Amino acid sequence: MTVVQVGPLMPFLESALASDYAARRLPDTFADGAFDDVTIAVTSGRVGVGAALMSRLPALRAVINFGVGYDTTDVAEATRRGIVVSNTPDVLDDCVADTALGLIIDVMRGLSAADRYVRRGDWPAHGNPPLARKVSGARVGILGLGRIGLAIARRLDGFGCDISYHNRSPRDVPYRYAPSPAALAADVDVLVVAVSGGPNTRHLVSAEVIDALGADAFLVNVARGSAVDETALVSALVGGRLAGAGLDTFADEPHVPAALLTLDRVVLTPHLGSGTSETRRAMSDLTLANLARFVKDGTLVTPVAGS
């Protein structure tokens, strides 16, 4: 089988693909027919393999995805063409949950803002910064109680938080179920977005949901940027209709709305939810395991639903 790399990957993974599978790097532009022999594409959740690229790789039979998110790959088109798709679930749950917790603490307690306050010399000049909000005992809503959402909830248990959630359907968990995202938002101090990406969750956090949160509540997003109506979010933050936000993902990465850059009530991180050496190595290992399994017998270790 012929393997091609689509987009940048971790150096360890790129090296293994080149040495073990003689993988070629797919250029941004290429002549028709140049990659007609490619049977396996290895990519990431940030790049993916869309329908247009699939049509130019006629022999493609598998898309091996580095990352739990795969919304950049057209799974419906892949299924129609008989192409299977894998991702790397589970191995990054802890790190993404840790990131969510860090953003909650940072934005509610104002830690990054306080750090900037000290560095600017404002402490001796102006005294103590404004009071922040307490995390322990806060009412936290989790939008999407999958593996990552549940890992976030279990961490918040240690803070004595009152946890509620919204999912496509209720789960057998000791947390309160809300019938809709807006109903969830209306009853919490902080809303954590942990849904999967794709068209089904696009703008799930709508203007209505943001308005339901209100001026005293916070939004934390460790899911996809597409899950939040970013225009409505920016408007609410600039207009003081939301207390603050902790954002690890954005609608047009790596571009961040300029209006957010000057707001002390917003914590911005560059999509680093799974960004630890241990987790990225585990993700690379699972990516290679999926590749090896497909080469061996045409199956996958962790196929995505519907592929």
Which residue in this structure is represented by tokens 């404002």?
122
Active site residues: 224, 253, 271
Beta bridge partner(s), residue 190: 140, 218
- Residues forming a β-bridge with 141: 164, 191
- Distance from C-alpha of 255 to C-alpha of 56, rounded to nearest angstrom: 29
Token readout for 214 is 């209100």
Read off the tokens for 165. Answer: 């959630």
Q: What gap in Å lies between CA 15 and CA 12, rounded to an integer?
A: 5
